[in-house]
Amino acid sequence: MTNPLTEMSRQQIDRLIGALDSLKDGDLAVDMLVACGERAIPFLACFLLKGPPRTISLPRCRAARALGELGACNVLLSYFRDYERPLDAAVLFAEDAVRSAVARELARWKSDEVFHVLLDAARQRVTAGLVLALGEFHRPQSIPLLVEVLEDDLCRDEAMESLRKVPDAARHYGILAILGFIDVQLEGRSALVRRRAVLQLLAQLGVASSDWECLRTVLWEDDPGTVIAAAQLGFMAAPESDWPQIVVALLRVADKFNWVQEADALQLLDAHPDVARQAALQIAKHRSESGEHPNWMSPLWRILRHVLGHELDNGSATAP
């Protein structure tokens, strides 16, 4: 028996294309267009490629999904090849969602052509969907771009996820980047976020003790977020003989912590209570001998009190 959906007229398919705009029936229209088979591809291609970008992205995202399910790889590739950046900021933001949707669909095809089109598109203007799609290929060639993306608040988590899919190559690249052997910007205000993220990635992937010997100098940088990330890595990779030094490095920048960083530092110290207490006793004694009184507005003093408890409250915190 013939499927009536395959016998739809041009006018009926046009109506389904129009229904992609519907909040109520848009997803159903996608399913019906897919059921029409290849006959629907030219209509969807015209809607995606010829229609002007808009401030509402959902209809064009639906068209991308239908084209992906219909196997229209060439149409989706044409979207990126013919892409022109909208001048209107609101339209540009909406079109980023379309770029992500098209990228996710293209990830169905693991060819060299698709990979390089996605990589070029991400270099032109990155989106979260492009970053995730690149990760699906598990190719080291995307690592330099993914590391650059780590400074982007909108795509950082996706970049971390994609980098974790090539762990050996990402670990090697990350270590070289931190040590300054890779031409990637890790200095300056905007790049500090990327530097912290690279260290966090290394902590997630794990490094050898020999790698830690090269990375330990990061503990003595001034940025508290970088020091916390280095401490997280150190407690995983460093020998126990280095742990007191890691705690001292954390407490050295504690006065600069924001509340999130303070919580992260406390979590690390709570996981290593004995070494934390010894370092806290020394710092509390030094501060007291310098005539400094506890200041509970200071993150450092709050951390000292958390670690030492009543020893600090009673004024009995002294170095062993």
Contact, 254 vs 300, CB < 8 A? yes
pLDDT at 189: 61
- Cα 225 from Cα 39, distance rounded (Å): 55
- Cα 243 from Cα 220, distance rounded (Å): 14
Torsions phi, psi for 150 (to 5 deg) = -60, -15
pTM: 0.86
CB atoms within 10 A of CB 78: 16
Residue 193: which pLDDT band, with cuts at 50, 70 and 90? Answer: confident
Q: Is the pLDDT of residue 77 over 90?
A: yes
Is the four-CA dihedral 46, 19, 29, 88 of positive or negative sign? Answer: positive
Who's near 71: CB < 8 A, 6+ residues apart? none
**Mean pLDDT on 128-147:** 97
214-239, pLDDT tens digit by residue? 999 999 999 999 999 999 999 999 99
Q: Give me the chain's average pLDDT, please.
A: 90
Who's near 10: CB < 8 A, 6+ residues apart? none
Q: Is the pLDDT of residue 320 over 50?
A: no
Dihedral angle computed from the Cα positions of residues 107, 111, 113 and 117, in that order, rounded to the nearest 10 degrees: 20
